[in-house]
Each structure stands twice: as structure tokens, then as C-alpha cells.
């Protein structure tokens, strides 16, 4: 994840220099005087720098008047220079152990800096230190301007997400190697995690293996429960690829023939998920897309058991905007990437969820997960 090796042709594609300019314009429109961005997805989005989140301050400063600059601990300076950020013509300043990096940044901002947007994921100890260094400056969330930019993916970002989707598909395709009666969820999960790394990811983000009654708990992870014949098993897995883009896909398996009602439940779910992926188009709102699946599930009598939103955006984070949630008036637009993952969960019995990542295109959805969505019965 911290491999900063440069690949010149893809750097400019994935991390175009224009993003800093766009962020500055968006900040100005929002009435902010500067953005303060700490290590994480926003920093990587703006500069390509996959910085380590450390107790020492690393901060990209994007003033609306004046050029952006990156302040890093001296010992990280060479890594920052070697990252795609080093190719942006951005000033990179190292601070040494006896410097106060907050004071350095405060001194470089105009004295009338009234409002700054701080990274949504900046650690509280750092926002507090900035509050001390910039007394009288109001802190707001940088996400209010950056999420809007990150939500619509560029073609190279779509390519990166497609690559992530194919990588996680390869893991699902191998599920028969690991999933069988007599093994625990944890044993299966360990094999899956290894395969996530072997199949094109540099980090495992989550491994959910919900067998039998555990399938009714949407975010159950792994336990020592022994998988038994007849169990439905929900497998929801995701990781981060080398260029920072995430995968996330859920498929439903059964160990031998599952209960008859489970098949019915799965059929309803598949109908809902299929209708939703087919309905994706620019102009449809996120709330309308949620309702398309929810109505099908409700008509089949399972409405009370679809207990979460339909999906979430995905990119440099596995959960980001846009959220596909009931009541959202956000219109879908070309380039938006998000999951379509309705679920039905009958408490203490079983449940299921089917999840694909899709891209909203001019003429509908492009599915990035292409393994079959039928219930996979493992003999
Ligand atoms: Zn998932
Ligand atoms: Zn998801």
C-alpha cells in the first residue's frame, strides 16, 4: 500500500495535475480560504501521494489565493517526492523534529484566513492543534467540496475500478476451493484473504463469511462456527488495489441444497438486484433507485427484512458518496460508481445479499462484477 514506485504513463492519467486547481476553485466557490488535507483518500485523490497516517503532521494546504504546498515530516520528504505528488510541480516542504508544523502552515496562510476546510478524516489531535495555531479561524469539512469532485469518476478511474472488480471476481470464482462443510468461517476467511492479495490487491479491506444463521447479520465477519450441510453462506469481500481503488462484491453460496424458502428469498433478491442494475441511468435519483428494489422485496413480503440502504459509492474508499438511500434526491450522473446490494435478513434463520459495483454511463449501468449472481450450490 505504501509502494510509491512511479509509473510515468499512468501517473498523469490517474492523478492529473488539474485536480488541485479544481479543488481550489471549489473551495473558493464555497467561501473557504483554504483546504487542509491530511493523509488518506482526499490527499491521494488530489496528488497521488499515498501518505502514511502518522502522529507527525503531513498536510496538503490548498489556499484559494496562492499556490498549494505540501508539508511533510523531513523523514517522509523523499517518499513524498518519489510519489506522483513529486511530478505535480507542487512545493514539498519537510519539517524537522524541533519545528512546529502547525505554526509553519499558519504563518504561510494569509492573516485574514476566516474559514478553512479540514479533511473529513483528519485526526482530532491535528484539528485541535490547527485550532490553536489558527485562533479565530472557523473549521469546516473539506468533504463538502471534495466529495462532489470525487463522486464522478474519470475514465482512468473507471479503468482502475474495473481492474479491482475483475480482481475480486477472480476470488469469488475460486470459492469452491475453500468453502465446504466441516470448516469454520474463520478458516475459510483466512484462505479468502490470502486469495484477495494473490488476485491483484495490496490490502484486504474486509472478509465477511456469514454461514447459516450468521447470514442474517449483514456485517457479520468471521467466527469459529463450523459450516454445515444445507447452510446458506453470504460471502462479501473487498480489497484495495495497488493504485488505491477498491473492490466490493457479495455472492450467495449454499453448501448442498439449502432450505426451500431460502431459494424463494434468493429469487426475490435476485429479481430486485437485477431490476435495480437495469434501471440505473442518468437523471434517476438515488432514492428512486433504492425504491425500485425495495418495492419488489416489499411486494414479496420481505420489506421489513431489507434493513439497509441499497448501496454506497466506491473509489479510493470502499464507502464514499454517492449513497443510494431511500429519500435521496441526488440525481445519478455519468461516471458515478456505486454498489447495488439489496439484502433480505430473517433474524436467527438466514439471509442473503447480492452486490455488484456499477458505473452509471450515458446509457445505463456498466456492471464491474461479472461472476454469476445465481445461488451457487457447492456440492
Ligand atoms: Zn460488500
Ligand atoms: Zn458494499
- pLDDT tens digit string along 172-221? 999 999 999 999 999 999 999 999 999 999 999 999 999 999 999 998 98
User: Who surrounds ion ligand 1 at CB < 5 A?
Assistant: 236, 248, 250, 355
Give the tens place of pLDDT for each residue, 32-65: 999 999 999 999 999 999 999 999 999 999 999 9
CATH of the domain at 363: 3.90.230.10
Closest ligand to residue 208's CA: 1
For residue 55, give the DSSP letter: S
240 assigned to some structural domain: yes
Q: Tell me how far the alpha carbon of residue 340 lies from the centroid of ligand 1, in angstroms.
A: 9
Which of helix, strand or coil describes residue 192? helix
61 assigned to some structural domain: yes
Number of domains in the chain: 2
106 assigned to some structural domain: yes
Closest ligand to residue 319's CA: 2
At 7 the pLDDT is 46
Q: Tell me how far the alpha carbon of residue 69 lies from the centroid of ligand 1, in angstroms.
A: 36
Q: What Rg value do the Cα atoms of the chain yield, rounded?
A: 23
Instruction: Flag whether pLDDT at 9 surpasses 70.
Output: no
> Phi-psi region for residue 40, left (φ > 0), alpha (ψ -120 to 50) or beta?
left
Give the residues across from 200 on adjacent strands.
Answer: none
Q: Tell me how far the alpha carbon of residue 164 lies from the centroid of ligand 2, in angstroms.
A: 13
Q: Tell me how far the alpha carbon of residue 376 lies from the centroid of ligand 2, in angstroms.
A: 20
Pick the closest to residue 146 from 47, 66, 1 (CA basis): 47
Average pLDDT (298-316) is 98
Q: Tell me how far the alpha carbon of residue 196 lies from the centroid of ligand 1, in angstroms.
A: 14
Instruction: Flag whether pLDDT at 316 surpasses 50.
Output: yes
Closest ligand to residue 238's CA: 1
At 13 the pLDDT is 87
Same domain flag for 167 and 127: no
**Domain stop point among 127, 149, 171:** 149
Query: How is 226-286 classified by DSSP, letter by letter?
Result: BP-TT-EEEEEEEEE-TTS-B--EEEEEEESSPPHHHHHHHHHHHHHHHHHHHH--TT-BH
Closest ligand to residue 338's CA: 2
Q: Tell me how far the alpha carbon of residue 339 lies from the centroid of ligand 1, in angstroms.
A: 8
Same domain flag for 138 and 163: no
Which of helix, strand or coil describes residue 220? coil
Q: Tell me how far the alpha carbon of residue 314 lies from the centroid of ligand 1, in angstroms.
A: 10
Pick the closest to residue 133 from 106, 157, 100, 152 (CA basis): 106
Same domain flag for 197 and 133: no
Closest ligand to residue 219's CA: 1
What lies within 8 Å, CB to CB, of 22 at 6+ separation is 149
331 assigned to some structural domain: yes
Q: What helix, strand, coil percent values describe the chain, rounded to 5?
A: 40, 25, 35
Give the residues across from 314 on adjacent strands.
Answer: none
Pick the closest to residue 169 from 372, 374, 375 (CA basis): 372
Range of the domain at 245: 155-378
Which of helix, strand or coil describes residue 182? coil
**Domain stop point among 149, 183, 210:** 149
At 17 the pLDDT is 87
At 10 the pLDDT is 66
For residue 176, give the DSSP letter: G
Same domain flag for 114 and 227: no
Confidence of residue 225 (pLDDT cuts 50, 70, 90): very high
Same domain flag for 133 and 174: no
Q: Tell me how far the alpha carbon of residue 172 lies from the centroid of ligand 1, in angstroms.
A: 12
Amino acid at each position: 500500500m505504501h509502494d510509491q514506485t512511479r509509473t510515468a504513463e499512468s501517473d498523469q492519467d490517474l492523478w492529473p495535475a488539474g485536480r488541485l486547481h479544481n479543488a481550489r476553485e471549489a473551495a473558493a466557490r464555497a467561501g473557504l480560504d483554504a483546504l487542509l488535507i491530511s493523509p488518506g483518500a482526499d490527499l491521494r485523490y488530489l496528488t497521488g501521494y499515498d501518505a502514511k497516517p502518522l502522529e507527525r503532521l503531513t498536510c496538503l494546504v490548498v489556499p484559494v489565493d496562492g499556490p498549494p504546498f505540501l508539508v511533510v515530516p523531513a523523514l517522509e520528504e523523499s517518499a513524498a517526492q518519489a510519489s506522483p505528488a513529486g511530478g505535480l510541480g507542487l512545493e514539498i516542504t519537510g519539517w524537522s523534529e524541533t519545528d512546529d508544523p502547525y505554526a509553519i502552515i499558519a504563518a504561510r496562510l494569509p492573516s485574514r484566513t476566516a474559514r478553512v476546510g479540514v479533511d473529513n478524516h483528519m485526526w482530532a489531535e491535528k484539528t485541535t492543534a490547527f485550532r490553536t495555531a489558527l485562533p479565530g479561524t472557523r473549521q469546516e469539512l473539506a468533504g463538502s467540496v471534495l466529495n462532489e469532485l470525487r463522486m464522478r469518476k474519470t475514465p482512468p478511474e473507471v479503468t482502475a475500478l474495473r481492474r479491482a472488480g475483475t480482481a475480486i471476481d477472480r476470488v469469488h470464482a475460486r470459492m469452491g476451493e475453500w468453502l465446504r462443510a466441516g470448516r469454520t468461517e474463520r478458516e475459510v476467511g483466512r484462505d479468502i484473504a490470502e486469495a484477495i492479495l494473490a488476485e491483484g490487491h495490496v490490502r484486504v479491506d474486509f472478509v465477511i463469511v456469514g454461514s447459516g444463521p450468521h447470514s442474517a447479520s449483514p456485517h457479520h465477519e468471521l467466527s469459529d462456527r463450523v459450516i454445515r450441510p444445507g447452510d446458506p453462506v453470504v460471502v462479501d469481500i473487498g480489497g484495495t488495489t495497488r493504485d488505491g481503488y477498491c473492490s466490493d462484491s457479495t455472492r450467495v453460496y449454499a453448501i448442498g441444497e439449502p432450505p426451500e424458502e431460502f431459494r424463494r428469498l434468493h429469487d426475490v433478491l435476485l429479481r430486485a438486484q437485477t431490476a435495480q442494475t437495469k434501471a440505473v441511468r442518468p437523471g434517476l435519483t438515488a432514492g428512486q433507485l433504492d425504491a425500485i428494489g425495495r418495492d419488489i422485496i416489499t411486494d414479496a413480503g420481505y420489506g421489513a427484512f431489507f434493513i439497509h440502504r441499497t448501496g454506497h459509492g466506491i473509489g479510493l474508499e470502499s464507502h464514499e458518496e454517492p449513497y443510494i438511500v431511500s429519500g435521496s434526491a441526488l440525481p445519478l450522473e455519468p461516471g458515478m460508481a456505486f454498489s447495488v446490494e439489496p439484502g433480505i435478513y430473517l433474524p436467527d434463520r438466514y439471509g442473503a445479499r447480492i452486490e455488484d459495483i456499477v458505473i452509471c454511463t450515458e446509457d445505463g449501468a456498466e456492471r464491474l462484477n461479472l461472476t454469476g449472481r445465481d445461488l451457487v450450490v457447492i456440492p
